[in-house]
Amino acid sequence: MMIHPTAIVESGAQLGADVKIGPYAFVGAKARLGDGCVLAPHAVVLDYATLGARCRVHSGAVVGDLPQDLSFQEAETFVIAGDDCVFREGVTVHRGTKPGSVTRLGNHVYMMANSHVAHNCEVGNHVIMANGTLLAGHVTVGERCFFGGGSAVHQFCHVGRLAMIGAMGVITKDLPPFCMSLTLENSRVGGLNIVGLRRAGFTAEQRKQMKQAFGILYRSGLNTTQAREALLADTTNPFAVEMGEFLARAKRGICRPSFDISGDSADE
């Protein structure tokens, strides 16, 4: 364990093995750092924040500050991050609002500079947020999503797994799994996240099934309720069922297609 003499680690903080804490960093008395965590100079991990193994908190990042919610009253609320998360310069991750509630990040979450995760968000494994990504309160993000720089998600929205949000894109409705929203657009879907799906190892046949599900939702002329039922009925296509189940949970409506939709673009 290496703790720089100018760092402040309050009594009661729980530090795992091989933790490194740089100059002027701060660790609260009720914070927990897993094995191998590294805090850069001026990094801050506050009370009720728990980091898994091998997390890295860069200069100026703050994990575990109070929620920006006017209804918040002093209460024990939490940030819990999994293993191998990266919080780059200026990142902020806030605690939950209601007593006992949690802002939760999975494993291998990479938050680039000046990104923000608000109170009570749930972020899945292997999510990447480019610089300046903003998640408002109670946002839920599935695994392996990618957020372009400067993108923002409205509170209570759900983003399905393996979705991509283009740079400066704004999401105010739920974004279904495997879909890609367009750069500089408000809640408009431009097609499947083909590059992300390939990188995640999905086969051409699996991507074909996803495209079929996408077609039912966005190209069939069905309304959302009809599309949901059609997707759930397609039991031979697990991705159609997954998309149908996502629609069944949607509370804010779903992102609509753009005028220049590319769902039938070449996949190979």
Fold identical between 2-197 and 203-257?
no
For 7-54, the DSSP string reads -EE-TT-EE-TT-EE-TT-EE-TT-EE-TT-EE-TT-EE-TTEEE-TT
C-alpha 243/C-alpha 46 separation (Å) is: 38
Say whether 231 sits in a helix, a strand or coil: helix
Helices (H) and strands (E) in the chain, counts: 4, 29
Q: Is the pTM of this model over 0.85?
A: yes
Extract the runs of DSSP E, i.e. beta strands, from 52-133: 56-57, 62-65, 78-81, 86-87, 92-94, 102-105, 110-111, 116-117, 122-123, 128-129
Q: What is the pLDDT along the chain (268 residues), one digit of tens a residue?
A: 899 999 999 999 999 999 999 999 999 999 999 999 999 999 999 999 999 999 999 999 999 999 999 999 999 999 999 999 999 999 999 999 999 999 999 999 999 999 999 999 999 999 999 999 999 999 999 999 999 999 999 999 999 999 999 999 999 999 999 999 987 778 899 999 999 999 999 999 999 999 999 999 999 999 999 999 999 999 999 999 999 999 999 999 999 998 544 444 434 4
Helix (H) or strand (E) holding 141: strand 140-141
C-alpha 106/C-alpha 119 separation (Å) is: 15
Enter the CATH code of domain 203-257.
Answer: 1.20.1180
CATH 3.60.15.10 holds for 2-197 = no
8 A C-beta contact, residue 20 and residue 38 = yes
Only one residue has tokens 């069905």, namely: 222
Q: In what order do the strands lie in the sheet with 14-15?
A: 14-15, 32-33, 49-51, 78-81, 102-105, 122-123, 140-141, 158-159
- Count of Cβ atoms closer than 10 Å to residue 158 Cβ: 24
Q: Where are the domains of the chain?
A: 2-197, 203-257
Pairing of strands 62-65, 44-45: parallel
10's tokens: 């309050």
